[in-house]
Structure 1
Amino acid sequence: MNRRWSRILVAEGVGAAESVVVVVLGYRNPQPTANLINRWRVRAGIRSIPADGGPGTCVIFSGGAAGGGVAEARLMADYAKSALRFDGTVLLESESLTTWQNITNIIPLLADADRIKIVSQPAHALKARAYLRRQRPDLAERLVRAEDYRPGEWLIAKPLLALYGLRILRGLRKDERTASP
Structure 2
Amino acid sequence: MTLVNDPPGSSEAIVVLGFKNPQPDANFINQIRVQVALRSIDPTAETRLIFSGGPTTATRSEARVMADYAVNKLGYQGAYLLEEESRSTWDNIANLLPMIEDVDRIKIASLPAHALKARVYVRRQRPDLASKLVKVADYKFGEWAALKPVLAAYSRRTLRAVREDLP
User: Of 4, 21, 24, which residue of structure 2 is paired with 1:11?
Assistant: 4
Unaligned stretches of 5+ residues in structure 2: none
Give 1:28 deviation, angstroms.
0.3
- Alpha-carbon distance in 2 for matches of 1:18, 1:140: 17
TM-score scaled by structure 2? 0.94
Aligned to 2:44: 52
In structure 2, which of residues 15, 22, 29 is the aligned counterpart of residue 30 of structure 1?
22
2:163 and 2:70 map into 1 onto residues whose CA distance is 34
The answer (yes or no) to whether the contact 1:58–1:88 under 8 Å persists in 2 is no
Runs of 4+ residues deviating >4 angstroms: none
Q: Determine helix, strand or coil for the equivalent of 1:44.
A: helix
The percentage of aligned residue pairs carrying the same residue is 51
Distance (Å, rounded) in 2 between the aligned partners of 1:66 and 1:9: 33
Match of 1:111 in 2: 101
TM-score, normalised relative to structure 1:
0.87
| Contact persistence 1:48–1:147 (CA under 8 A) | yes
Report the Cα offset of residue 99 of structure 1.
Answer: 0.4
Where do residues 79-98 of structure 1 align in structure 2 (5 Å cutoff)? 79-98=69-88
Tell me the CA shift for residue 61 of structure 1.
Answer: 0.3
The amino acid that maps onto 1:49 is I
CA RMSD of aligned residues (A): 1.4
**Aligned residue number for residue 4 of structure 1:** none
Q: CA deviation at 1:147?
A: 0.9
Is the partner of 1:157 in helix, strand or coil? helix
- Is the contact between residue 24 and residue 58 of structure 2 (CA under 8 Å) also seen in structure 1? no
Which runs of no fewer than 5 residues in structure 1 stay unpaired? 1-7
